[in-house]
Amino acid sequence: MKFEDFKSKLQSGLNNQDLIIIIGECYVEYIGRATSKLPRGKRLIIIKADKSISIHENRLVRPTNYMMDSLISCQLLEDGEIQLLAKRLKPKESITIHLHEIESITNYSLPISNDLRLSGSEKELNDALMDDLSFLEEGLRPVNQQQVFRKGICDIIAEDKNGNLVVIELKRRKADLSCVTQLKMYVEQVSNLKNIKTRGILLAPEIRKSALELLEGYGLEYFSYDFEIKERSEIKGIGKSQKKLFEY
């Protein structure tokens, strides 16, 4: 494909905010947050209306190279090579696509919409949980949701029937070590701040064995729950899997 044809097609697509699909033999270099080289091979290149660019191989969901908010240009080198360039200032990074052969470039007029409607996010579960904490534990009542602390944001802060503060960390998937350390940190923060005995509850559908051990060692509590996703997320039930170890 001639450079002039390629360039005008590309310019037209960029101007119209089309979705641009390029198939071609190329060698890709990235320099920025890291560096990478993608040896010569046939690839799919996608340029979208928001100036995001991505280079895909014929496997995996994620692109091998990509950039958001890029400045896109192309140039013809003296030796006849066509280069497609994507640059960005913050962070400073660049993708250089050495196009040895262009099999096709096609522009598609697609709306720049943003209308995926997702159900079952943690936010929804959080709201559902806040509606009624008592089925987690009798006498538990919410004090605050998404409380911002000096260091981090607690999902839920509640008070139990004995007047203890309870920090609740909600997860929508199997809890791992990081969930436990996260909760631990919040409990420490709240405890220090309020200078009051504070419990910590990790609420997740499942928990990894090592995470449960760590949690128990910290004197925190774990509750399991099931959730069903319909129009709005519903929490089906709470299973108390673990009793508090230390009464301090």
Q: Can you give the binding site for its own copies, defined by CB under 8 A?
A: 17-19, 21, 23, 33-39, 41-44, 46, 48-50, 52, 54, 56-68, 103, 108-121, 150-152, 173, 177-178, 181-182, 184-185, 210-211, 213-214, 229
Task: Between 9 and 156, name the residue whose CB sits nearer to DNA.
Answer: 156
Residue 214: how many other CB atoms lie within 10 Å: 18
The interface with DNA within residues 132-191 (CB under 7 A) comprises 148, 151-153, 155, 171-174, 176-178, 182
Q: At CA 99, angle to CA 112 and CA 105, rounded to 5?
A: 40
> Could you tell which of its own copies, DNA, none binds residue 103, using a CB distance below 5 to 8 A set by kind?
its own copies
Q: How far is the CB of 62 from DNA (least distance, A)?
A: 3
Site string (28-67) toward DNA, x via CB under 7 A? --x-xxx-x---------------x-------xxx-xxxx
- Map tokens 């060692």 to a residue: 217
Cβ–Cβ under 8 Å, residues 39 and 52? no
Report DSSP state, residue 98. E
Please give the Cα distance from 225 to 16 (Å, whole number).
49
Q: What is the dihedral of CA 208, 210, 215, 217, to 10 degrees?
A: 160
Task: Between 8 and 121, name the residue whose CB sits nearer to DNA.
Answer: 121
